[in-house]
């Protein structure tokens, strides 16, 4: 099977998976969740007021029609209007995506490059002092909650030292840089621990394989073994870890955007949760599901690029 046929088949598989995801979202929001009319109108709403709101929100229609609307929105990205702001949801998402990417994109690049580089270094010096120190520091950093990093960073680096801005985000390059430096650096510190441990474990799994011992027996230098053999064969789990992080770039970082007053998608989600804005929450849930499905397909395709031993089936 050639690459294009494989991609086409995998994209066909996306359709039933997406239909199933839409069904789960429909059940959660339309069957399991409480009636939004009671949330929006309060406990003392009359039957007439509830019935009127149900008609306005389209909740009096048959369940199958409401489910078809969710499916249609997943394929057309027409999510309707927000209950709280009355804005078109897709326009809200497009407006929030830019500020979110100013944090998540540099964070994504820096954290992965730094973590993989350090993991290679400690794997090269495995069992030595630097390996033990890095492992100890990464475990210690993983034990500290994200909120503690944010509060300490804002107090010490912004308020006490005055090195960074906390609020007042300005859109457009390079205006946003002073307001995104601190959250990016803090989240690099937050993600460094778990990612370094993961990449270290993956690389060490390859280090003890038979082909590595064979390469060393043939006189291949340790540096060549690490980069030409170990890293190449460790790319499958590394690619999986990296690519499955990408959907989070779309959703942004909830805590960072909230504490640093960045008008991104995280703020939209928090506001939607606080106001029980179900259409916005459903839209963000559908987008995250689509992201995971599509990037799962991309991951499978890239497997065959980095590892010729795998075949398209």
Per residue in 7-59, pLDDT (tens digit) is 778 778 888 888 888 888 888 877 777 777 777 777 777 778 878 877 877 77
> What's the burial of 162, exposed, middle or buried (CB within 10 Å: 0-12/13-18/19+)?
exposed
Q: Is 281 inside any structural domain?
A: no
Structure confidence at residue 251 (pLDDT): 61
Structure confidence at residue 160 (pLDDT): 84
Measured N-to-C along each axis, helices 177-207 and 146-153 cross at an angle, to the nearest 10 degrees, of 140
Separation of alpha carbons 121 and 313, rounded Å:
36
Q: Tell me what the mean pLDDT of segment 147-176 comes to.
A: 84
CB 149 within 8 A of CB 184: no
Q: Tell me what the mean pLDDT of segment 62-69 comes to.
A: 86
User: What range does the domain containing 175 cover?
Assistant: 97-276
Q: Is 118 inside any structural domain?
A: yes
Question: In this structure, what token pair is assigned to residue 293?
Answer: 């499905």
Dihedrals phi, psi of 213, to nearest 5 degrees: -65, -35
Closest by CA position to 220, among listed 208, 233, 211: 211
Structure confidence at residue 81 (pLDDT): 85
Distances from the Cα of 192 to the Cα of 108, 111, 112, 116, angstroms: 11, 6, 8, 10
Q: Which CATH number belongs to the domain containing residue 160 in this structure?
A: 1.10.3720.10
Q: Domain check: are 66 and 122 in the same one? A: no
Structure confidence at residue 313 (pLDDT): 55
What is the per-residue pLDDT across 249-279, written as a single tens digit (0 to 9) for each?
666 577 788 788 888 888 888 888 877 788 8
Separation of alpha carbons 142 and 131, rounded Å:
16
What is the per-residue pLDDT across 298-308, written as a single tens digit (0 to 9) for each?
877 777 766 66
Q: What's the pLDDT band for 248 if we cut at 50, 70, 90?
A: low
Question: In this structure, what token pair is assigned to residue 151?
Answer: 């509060």
CB 89 within 8 A of CB 81: yes
Per the prediction, the chain carries an average pLDDT of 82
Taking the model in full, what pTM does it have?
0.77
> What's the burial of 298, exposed, middle or buried (CB within 10 Å: 0-12/13-18/19+)?
middle
Q: Tell me what the mean pLDDT of segment 72-90 comes to.
A: 86
Q: Domain check: are 120 and 261 in the same one? A: yes
The number of folded domains in the chain is 2
Q: Domain check: are 179 and 261 in the same one? A: yes
């Amino acid at each position: 099977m050639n690459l294009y046929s494989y991609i086409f088949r995998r994209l066909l598989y996306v359709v039933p998976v997406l239909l199933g995801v839409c069904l789960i979202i429909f059940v959660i929001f339309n069957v399991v969740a409480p009636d939004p009319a009671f949330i929006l109108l309060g406990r003392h709403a009359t039957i007439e007021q509830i019935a009127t709101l149900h008609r306005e929100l389209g909740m009096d229609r048959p369940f199958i029609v409401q489910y078809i609307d969710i499916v249609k929105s997943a394929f057309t990205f027409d999510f309707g209007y927000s209950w709280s702001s009355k804005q078109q949801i897709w326009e809200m998402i497009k407006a929030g995506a830019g500020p979110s990417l100013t944090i998540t994109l540099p964070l994504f690049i820096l954290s992965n490059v730094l973590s993989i580089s350090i993991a290679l270094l400690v794997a090269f010096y495995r069992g030595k002092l630097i390996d033990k120190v890095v492992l100890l520091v990464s475990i210690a950093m993983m034990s500290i909650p994200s909120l503690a990093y944010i509060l300490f960073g804002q107090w010490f680096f912004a308020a006490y030292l005055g090195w960074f801005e906390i609020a007042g985000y300005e859109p457009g390059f390079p205006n946003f840089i002073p307001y995104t430096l601190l959250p990016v650096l803090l989240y690099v510190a937050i993600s460094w621990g778990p990612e370094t441990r993961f990449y270290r474990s993956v690389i060490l799994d390859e280090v003890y394989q038979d082909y590595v011992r064979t390469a060393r027996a043939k006189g291949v230098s340790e540096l060549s073994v690490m980069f030409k053999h170990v890293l190449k064969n460790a790319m499958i789990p590394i690619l999986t870890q990296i690519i499955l992080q990408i959907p989070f770039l779309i959703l942004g970082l909830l805590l960072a955007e909230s504490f640093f007053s960045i008008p991104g998608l995280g703020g939209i989600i928090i506001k939607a949760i606080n106001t029980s804005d179900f259409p916005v929450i459903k839209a963000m849930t559908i987008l995250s599901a689509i992201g995971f499905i599509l990037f799962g397909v991309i991951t499978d395709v890239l497997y065959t690029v980095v590892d010729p031993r795998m075949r398209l089936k």
